A and B are shown apart, each in its own frame.
Chain A
Amino acid sequence: MKYPEGTLVRNTRAARVNHWITATCFVLLMVSGLSMFHPMLFWLSGLFGGGQWTRTIHPWIGIVLALSYAGLIVQFWRDNFWNRDDIRWLRSIVEVVVNDEAKVPEVGRFNAGQKFVFWTMALLVPALLATGLVIWQSYFGEATTIETQRAAELVHSWAAATAIMIWIIHVYAAIWVRGSVRAMTRGYVTPGWAWRHHRKWFRDLVTTGSTGPRPRG
């Protein structure tokens, strides 16, 4: 596939495929997990063929998610390093939220909000994996003490609820900032989009003669 003339590549093909595998797994895990989390959401288990199937399939999807998120970490970690721009950006969080983006300091490929999503998920997914294995009754029911499993169950549902809240913010931000969804579906953004939202990244690409996603050299 070719990207339209004059656009910048925001996410490579590999990154996009990897992202959507992760997203699919996350949504399935969220829906199946929530059905077991609160009685008022138990009906969601019908989407998986009933409670037994929901319970059976959830941990397996979790394994795929963990592997897939590891791939995202490999592809994105370098552009998610915390730096001084992030502190400046965070100081003007009010301008960000009220859509006054002209007053927001310039940032590189990712802003502090995106980095926050990246790093919290980089902590929560391994935590969900570890605790999920401990509470996986059919295979690891005898592997740890019941007291350990109780603690793991609490941590798992807390981590899941936290991850889902962050996921809501992540999805909302993608819809709110127009042009972002296409950056993950088709992979490209317009120069104007890059100028508006990630000006340092834009400058780095243009001055090094790169069409993205990373500057040359």
Chain B
Amino acid sequence: MTDLQSQDFIRISASTTTPPAARNHEVEVAKLIDVSRCIGCKACQAACMEWNNLRGDVGTFQGSYTNPADLGPHTWTLMRFTEHENATGDLEWLIRKDGCMHCADPGCLEACPAPGAIVQYANGIVDFVSQNCIGCGYCVKGCPFNIPRISAADSKSYKCTLCSDRVSVGMEPACVKACPTGAILFGSKTDMRSWAGERVEDLKGRGFEKAGLYDPPGVGGTHVMYVLPHADTPSIYAGLPGNPAISVFVDVWKGVLKPLALAGLAVTAVAGFLHWVITGTNEVEENDDRSAADFIKNHEGVAK
């Protein structure tokens, strides 16, 4: 989903020129997911399906409230349920709304080889533009959060758009609108950070000493943030990475090898051409023919 008339790009995938950005006087937005206020009703998950016209195939029960079992081309947000036994032996039912984090430094966009298949707007939203997507799955390798999913039916990559269509006309994302407890909030990133600060204070006052805001600096911060009661161990929330960053393999591949290899190929080709210009071709000379003929004559009938 995207508006191709946008002139507010921060980045465009596989592009070596400056993207159009004159109309970039925009507020940086963020979605704040307060895990401590979520009751796991999945209204957000349903609202996402409804607004985006997504209906996945009906699956089978996997022994968990997490349903379907994973994100998919038709599941852009998924409530993940974890039964966690804490240090005092009590059971905690942890519920995390999973989906694209809209990183400030998006690994998917860095990895994508197709010009314009992934874009980042001035408001921070990272969006997939399906008509440019070639279905290679590089975004899957680039993402530190394991979010994009390639459709087997149409070989296009899909993920949460942060309702870029709604946000561009001044509405909040569908999941935010649907949440009955106010666990999902949407606004400027500054406002969301300061509200999160209040929530964290409140949680600390109620005994969650390790409460905190999840806005990981390894990816430049995200435009989807969590308030976590146990911010010291994000991984207990269905594997939320503690210190996410773009993999070093991806960085070397795209940051070092890509420019170096292209230069190397050009240099090799030019060196070949110059060699030809300088030394000329290597031709068989008359005395080669003569020596060969003599040799053949001297050995006539030897082994035949």
The residues of A with any CB-CB pair to B shorter than 8 Å are 36-42, 45, 50-52, 54-56, 97-99, 101, 135, 137-138, 141, 146-147, 149-151, 153-154, 157-158, 161, 164-165, 168-169, 172, 175-179, 190-196, 202-203, 206-209, 216
Q: B137-160: which have CB < 8 Å to A? A: 137-138, 140-141, 146, 150, 152, 155
Bound Cα distance from A54 to B250, whole angstroms: 22
Bound Cα distance from A135 to B135, whole angstroms: 12
Q: B42-92: which have CB < 8 Å to A? A: none
Most chain A Cβ neighbours within 10 Å, of B16, B141, B276, B283? B141
In the complex, which residue of chain B has the Cβ closest to the Cβ of A156?
A: B253
B264's partner among A161, A177, A193, A203 (CB-CB below 8 A) is A161
Mark contacts of B82-108 with chain A using CB atoms, 8 A cut-off: 1 yes-contact digit, 0 otherwise: 000000000000000000000000000
The residues of B with any CB-CB pair to A shorter than 8 Å are 14-16, 113-115, 132, 134-138, 140-141, 146, 150, 152, 155, 247, 249-250, 252-253, 257-258, 261-262, 264-265, 268-269, 272, 275-276, 279-285, 288-293, 295-296, 299, 302-304
Bound Cα distance from A202 to B245, whole angstroms: 60
Bound Cα distance from A182 to B252, whole angstroms: 42
Q: Is the CB of B289 within 8 A of A150?
A: no
Q: Is the CB of A195 within 8 A of B257?
A: no
How many interface contacts (CB-CB < 8 Å) are there between A and B? Answer: 158
In the complex, which residue of chain A has the Cβ closest to the Cβ of B295?
A: A206
Q: Is the CB of A192 within 8 A of B289?
A: yes
Shortest B199–chain A CB gap in Å is 32
Q: Is the CB of B302 within 8 A of A149?
A: no
A178's partner among B138, B152, B250, B282 (CB-CB below 8 A) is B282
In the complex, which residue of chain A has the Cβ closest to the Cβ of B157?
A: A137
Q: Is the CB of B257 within 8 A of A206?
A: no
Q: Is the CB of A177 within 8 A of B282?
A: yes
A39's partner among B115, B284, B285 (CB-CB below 8 A) is B115
Q: Contacts A37-B113, A178-B284 given: A153-B14 contact, CB under 8 Å?
A: no
B299's partner among A41, A101, A194, A206 (CB-CB below 8 A) is A206
Give chain A's interface secondary structure class: helix
Q: Is the CB of A153 within 8 A of B253?
A: yes
Q: Is the CB of B295 within 8 A of A202?
A: yes
27 A-B pairs (CB sep. < 8 Å) = A38-B258, A39-B16, A45-B134, A54-B134, A55-B136, A99-B279, A99-B282, A138-B135, A138-B152, A138-B155, A141-B137, A141-B150, A146-B146, A149-B140, A154-B257, A158-B261, A168-B272, A172-B272, A176-B276, A178-B282, A178-B283, A191-B296, A192-B285, A192-B289, A192-B291, A193-B284, A208-B303
Shortest A28–chain B CB gap in Å is 17
Q: Is the CB of A150 within 8 A of B249?
A: yes
User: Which 8 A-B pairs rank lowest in CB-CB distance, beginning with the nearest?
Assistant: A137-B137, A192-B289, A51-B134, A161-B261, A191-B292, A209-B303, A195-B292, A150-B249
Shortest B232–chain A CB gap in Å is 24
In the complex, which residue of chain B has the Cβ closest to the Cβ of A36?
A: B113
Shortest A135–chain B CB gap in Å is 7
